Amino acid sequence: MWLWGELGRGKKELETFKYFITHMSNMLLYNKELIILKEFTSDYSIKNYGRKLASKLKMNQKTVSNILNNLEKQHILKFTQDGKNKYYYINKSNPSVKDIIKLIEINKRIMFFKEYNKLNDLFLEIEKRSRGLVIIFGSYANLSSTKNSDMDIFAIGKVEDLQDLEALYNIKINIIYSSKDKFKLNDLFIKEIINSHIILKGVEEYIDLTW
């Protein structure tokens, strides 16, 4: 079950949630293994090599190489070799990998809540009013929103009326509904969501759909 779904929704529970966010941040936010593994989650068949990851993430190349080798030894990644380059990819035959991807999604959500700390109770209320898979995408998900930005939500399931929240926070909330049958990985819109998203609810469902 999604960890913060257990925390409740009152003032005391919100403070508990914020405390949880702060301390989970210390454990996850700057974990280099999770930062590197995140680069494999936009497409579970993608192959990456160390020099490219080091350049993109602005990390020491030897550090990246050591982490990739360690992840391969743990059977989290596999690799193919082309000349001197090792191309790493997700080991989908390891059943633990899905749990690791859940941690990556948790890490992304922690970063998101830290960035938009004044809107934490809004996100929790949207989660409370939702059933199924609920994802934030667009400018809020990629942390480029302004005070005039709409909040874009993708949902497979049902989201109750949010007009009162729109008025309270002065944010226009756009919800795009879909279904599992229409969730096609080669669809350009779905690719946009996969590349930049924050899961408010339904992380396991999301991973199964994109696996």
Average pLDDT, whole number, for the chain?
88
- 95: tokens are 């059943």
* Model pLDDT, residue 8: 46
Range of weakest confidence among 1-5, 84-88, 151-155, 206-210: 1-5
User: Is 160 buried (19+), middle (13-18) or exposed (0-12) by CB count in 10 A?
Assistant: exposed
Whether 4 has a pLDDT exceeding 50, the answer reads no
With a cut of 60, say whether residue 35 has pLDDT above it: yes
The angle formed by the CA atoms of residues 195, 198 and 199, to the nearest 5 degrees, is 115
Domains of the chain: 1-115 (1.10.10.10), 116-211 (3.30.460)
Closest CA to 36 of 84, 74, 78, 71: 71
76-87 tens-digit pLDDT: 999 999 988 899
- Position 16 scores a pLDDT of 57
Which pLDDT tens digit goes with each residue over 159-173? 999 999 999 999 999
pLDDT of 34 strictly over 70: yes
Q: Look at residue 15 and tell me whether its pLDDT is greater than 70.
A: no
| Confidence check: pLDDT of 29 > 60 | no
Which residues, in sequence order, are CB contacts of 185 under 8 Å at separation 6+?
A: 191, 194, 210
Residue range 148-163: mean pLDDT, rounded:
97
Whether the per-residue pLDDT at 193 is higher than 50: the answer is yes
pLDDT the model gives residue 30 = 55
